[in-house]
Each structure stands twice: as structure tokens, then as C-alpha cells.
Amino acid sequence: MARDLTASVVVFLVAMPLCMGIAIASGVPPEKGLITGIIGGIVVGALAGSPLQVSGPAAGLAVIVFELVRDQGLSALGPILMLAGLIQVVAGIFRLGGWFRAISPAVVHGMLAGIGVLIVIGQFHVLFDEKPLSSGLENLMAMPGRLLGLSPDLRAAELALILGLTTIAVMIGWEKLRPASLKLVPGALLGVVAATMVAWLLGLDVTKVAVPENIAAAVSLPQSGFLSQFANPAVLTAALAIAFIASAETLLSAAAVDRMHDGVRTDYNKELRAQGVGNLLCGAAGALPMTGVIVRSSANVQAGATTRLSAILHGVWILGFVALLPWLLREIPMAALGAVLVVTGMRLVNFNHARHLLKDYGVLPALIWAVTLTLVVAEDLLTGVLVGIALSLLELLPHVRRLKLKVDAHDDADGRTISLVGAATFVALPRLSAKLDAVPGGAPVRLDLTRCSAVDHTCAELLRDWSARRRASGSEVAFDGATGRLAALAA
């Protein structure tokens, strides 16, 4: 109880600037992100299948929401989220959670990198007290003009840029120099506090965050006629896109959180149902979509949380803060939140992952990563993801006549043996993952790959992560017949 209480405060401090910043990056008022954070904490935290994951507005959906609000208006977001949430609930009921883990890591990381680029080039303009333009390419083309338009006279744009750079300097400086005893104090919070104090003390005339006096005023309940929007094909397409991307990001985040602790593992279908309920409520309240988010979740684990209570309490703290201290939020410069998102976006662009794909798995996975990233930036998020998935199907061509994988698990005197017979491709990943997750903790495991004809990079990454987690917890893992990309695991 005490550890969950202290962890919840840490997560609350991390979540506050991100909730507002992601809302602004999505083209909606900041209070919409706070409402999503409250629902993600209190409701989804209570229902979650991933005990230590924290849910809320995610940078990964900011771009698609921005485009939806721009093209269809804010009123369309509610029906889209309600339908997306319903799709997630149904997917969880029919136990489809494992299939989202079968998405190629190259597609997922390419998507995240593309989102990171879009966030950086969009929020770059917020640093100058301006709004982002309507597309990634337009934002990119306008960046030199912003810099060349700077003047020695300290007007709003120059003052906002100074505040944004101050935020970034404090964030990065704190994360590099902070003492071990204060490692849980988030740099983003200190950066925003520093910029806010400078703006307040000097009385700088820059754009500030606008939040209502009463958080209840930010709730936009469905209006008459909203049911008719469900017949709009654009609404259905958008709902499918949000449900797919939010589910993939949530379940991949949950898998990453599982690697950080030795406690209860994630029930992916239960987590998917909880996320669906959360997005249904966010749609009904007119808020932002939610996912499980790795930044807040990792802070939760590092702060020592042990149960779902921490995530629930962080939602309570957000609610209490915005209900009692809205005047304080209105002192925050928009440029400070833009700076937080610039740093967040830069961290999503992980070129090390592309190098890892090229070195360990060859040209095709690295190409999938690059194409997905490029299309997300140049076209849109859904196009990039769908083309990436289509390219990942090329990995099946060499094994098209022998795609079936038999996974046999049995106990013997030396522990449990799991034998793979056939081609281990992403098509078989849900079944393989279920067998691996069913192994009791602490039991020695031997994976027999002598009759496994091929392992694609999606299954190889699953085996790497699973074996590393087992060994980190003190369990013995042995590989028989591991060759090529898995040979290092057998050493």
C-alpha cells in the first residue's frame, strides 16, 4: 500500500505535463487530455489486465487525432472513440489480444519513429507561439522560415522560444545530472515549472494554457444526432484505425512493462477489454483516445509500485489537482508543453532499432522500418502502418508451403521441454506466445528447435525477450538446434 501510494505521486507528476501536451499536439484543448488521464487512471486502472501499466493519452495517437479533428471536427471524435472502444471490447471478448503482438516489430517501431518525427516538426512551431500546420510536410517546409523570421526584438515568438529552450535545457540537464536520491523526480515536470516561473516572474506576454474553471465544463456529452454519425464510412474507418493502433501500442507497452518486473504477467485480452471500456468512456466524455503508455508505466515500475492501486491513485491525484488548482495550470506557457513534446518525439525516433534490425535480421525488416516511417510522415499514419504490414507479408513467401507450426510442450525429469516443428513466423506467434507464457515461474525450460525450419524476426524477437526475462528471474533456459539469428541465445 505505501509503495503504491508513493509510486502514484511520481506517476501523477510525470503524467500532468504529458496529458496537456499531447492534447495540444492533437489539436484539442488541454483539459481533454486531463480527462483521458483521469479515466485511464481510475477506470482502466481498476479493470486492467496489466497490473503495473498506466493508461492515458498517448503521443502515438496525437497525429491521427489532429487529422481527424482538422478534417471532421471535434464533434466527430466522440462517436469515433465510442466505436473504437466497442471494437476493442469485442476483440478482447473474442480473445484477439495475442494477435496484436504478432505485428512485426519493424512496423511498430517504424510507426513510432514516424510519429516522433511528426510530433517534433509539429511542436517546433509551438515553440514560436504558433500553431502547427495541417500536414507533416507543410510543418517541415515551414521550419526554416520560423528560424529566419526571428528578430533581435524580444517579441512573443522570441520569448516563447526562450521559454521552450529553457524547458528542454532543464529536462535534459536534470536527467543527466540529477542525484541518485532524486532519480524519480521527472525532468519534464521541472522543465515546465522552470519555464512557468520565468514567465510569471518576468510577466512575459506569451500564450498560456487555457483550462476551464470547472473540469466538469470540459466534459462534452453526446448531442442529439450523434448516432447518425455511425453510418458515416469515414467514422468507421477512423474508429478501426484508432482501435488497431491503440491496441497494438497498448499490448506492446504491456509486454515491455512485463520485462521490467517479476510480478503478475499481463492478461492481454483483459487489458484489451479494459482499454475498450476506457475509450468508450472517453468518447462519451468528448476526450482524447487512450492507450497503455510506456513512459508513465516505466515510471510506475521504477517507483516501486506493486499493484493496480498506483495507477488508480494517479488518476485521483489528477482529478483533485485540476478540480482544486485550475488557476495554476493557466500560468503554464504553451511553449513549455511544446518543448516537452519535442523531447518526447525525439525519443520515439530510435535509429538503434533500425541498426539492430539490419544487423541481426537483414535488409527486409530494416526496409520495412524505413518505409513505414517515411509514409507515416509523408502520407498519414494508417497508410504507413498498412503498407508496413503488407511488406512484412513478404517474409512469408519462402515458407508459404509450410507455414504451419506445431508447438508441443511436455514435462520431463529436467523440467519443461517445448518443441517447435515447422516454420516459426508471425502467423504462429499467438500460439507460441501462449505456450511460452504458460511455463511456471522458476521451472527450467529447454526449447527444441532441431525441427524448426525457419524463424522470422517477429518470432525471434519474442524468443529473445522471453528468454532474457526468464534468465533475469533466475530460471534456466536452454536451446537445442538454435542456428543463425538464434545461435547467440544458445550460448
Domain with 484 in it: what CATH number? 3.30.750.24
- 356 part of a folded domain: yes
Q: What is the pLDDT of residue 491?
A: 59
Q: How far is 483 from 9, CA to CA, in rounded Å?
A: 47
Same domain, 83 and 108: yes
H/E stretch holding 93: helix 77-93
- 381 part of a folded domain: yes
Q: Which among 275, 295, 286 has a CA at the least distance from the CA of 116?
A: 295
Same domain, 449 and 354: no
Range of the domain at 459: 405-490
Per-residue pLDDT of the chain (491 residues; tens, 9 = 90+): 778 988 898 889 888 888 988 898 888 999 999 999 999 999 999 999 998 999 999 877 888 898 889 888 888 899 999 999 999 999 999 988 878 778 888 888 888 788 889 888 988 998 998 888 777 788 889 889 888 888 887 788 899 999 999 999 999 999 898 888 887 788 888 898 999 999 999 999 898 888 888 888 788 887 776 777 777 888 888 999 899 889 988 987 887 787 677 778 889 899 999 999 999 999 999 999 999 987 788 888 888 889 999 999 999 999 998 888 888 888 989 899 889 888 888 888 889 989 999 998 889 999 999 999 999 888 877 788 889 999 998 888 877 777 788 999 888 877 889 999 988 988 888 888 888 888 887 779 999 999 988 888 888 888 988 888 788 778 889 898 877 767 766 65
Q: What is the pLDDT of residue 454?
A: 86
Same domain, 426 and 364: no
Q: How far is 22 from 6, CA to CA, in rounded Å?
A: 25
Same domain, 309 and 377: no
Q: Could you tell me whether strands 415-424 and 405-412 are parallel, antiparallel, or unpaired per DSSP bridges?
A: antiparallel
Cα distances from 223 to residues 236, 277, 410, in angstroms, run: 19, 20, 57
Same domain, 77 and 202: yes
Same domain, 224 and 306: yes
pTM over 0.75: yes
Cell numbers found for residue 151: 528578430
Q: What is the pLDDT of residue 172?
A: 92
Same domain, 60 and 155: yes
Instruction: Note whether 211 and 326 are within 8 A (CB).
Output: yes
Same domain, 139 and 280: yes
Q: What is the pLDDT of residue 304?
A: 83
